[in-house]
Amino acid sequence: MEAFVRFRLTKDEIYFANIEPDFNVLPLIEKHFKRRYADQKWVIYDIKRGYGLFYDLEKVELINMDFPENFNFTKTDDAFFATQEFEFQKLWQDYFKATNIASRKNMILHIRHIPKRYWKYLSEKQPN
């Protein structure tokens, strides 16, 4: 699951990632992200279970958040996310396009490594 988490910078300077795993994995991935991103404030929010982890540079806390009913977790909303986030996502998408070798495309292998159920939250899989 750790490989399928994509953080986006909010206007509050907190990196936010939403996930929708089949199982309750937040307690299992907490240590990895606390070590890996110890210098940044972040939230990993499990949409399916309605709770998340918030790291404030000192400790990780369980949180609940109230999102508007029509909030689209797959869209990068300019009211919620920082302006530069859009530029970073565009760069990331351009990088993936530039490094793709069309003649070596193998969708069966690709789907085996990155299941389609995770694609909606991966910035490199979003339309430009």
Q: Which of 76, 43, 82, 41 is nearest to 58 (CA)?
A: 41
Which helix (H) or strand (E) segment is 84 a member of?
helix 83-99
pLDDT of amino acid 122: 76
Edge-to-edge strand order for the sheet containing 42-46?
A: 8-9, 15-19, 42-46, 51-55, 60-63
Domain ranges for the chain, please list them: 2-123
- Burial environment of residue 29 by CB neighbours within 10 A (0 to 12, 13 to 18, 19 or more): middle
Tell me: the pLDDT tens digits for 67-125? 777 777 666 667 788 889 888 888 888 888 898 888 988 888 878 877 777 777 777 77
> For the chain, what percent of residues have pLDDT higher than 90?
45
Residue 80, C-beta contacts closer than 8 angstroms, at least 6 positions apart: 10, 11
pTM of the shown model: 0.81
Indicate the pLDDT class of residue 35, thresholds 50, 70 and 90: very high
Q: Which of 106, 108, 90, 110 is nearest to 98 (CA)?
A: 90
Tell me: the pLDDT tens digits for 38-55? 999 999 999 999 999 999
pLDDT of amino acid 74: 64
pLDDT at 10 over 80: yes
- What average pLDDT is seen over the chain? 87
CA 1 to each of CA 13, 23, 54, 67: distance values in angstroms, whole numbers, following the listed order: 24, 10, 17, 23
Count the neighbouring beta carbons within 10 Å of the beta carbon of residue 70.
5
pLDDT of amino acid 67: 79
pLDDT of amino acid 90: 87
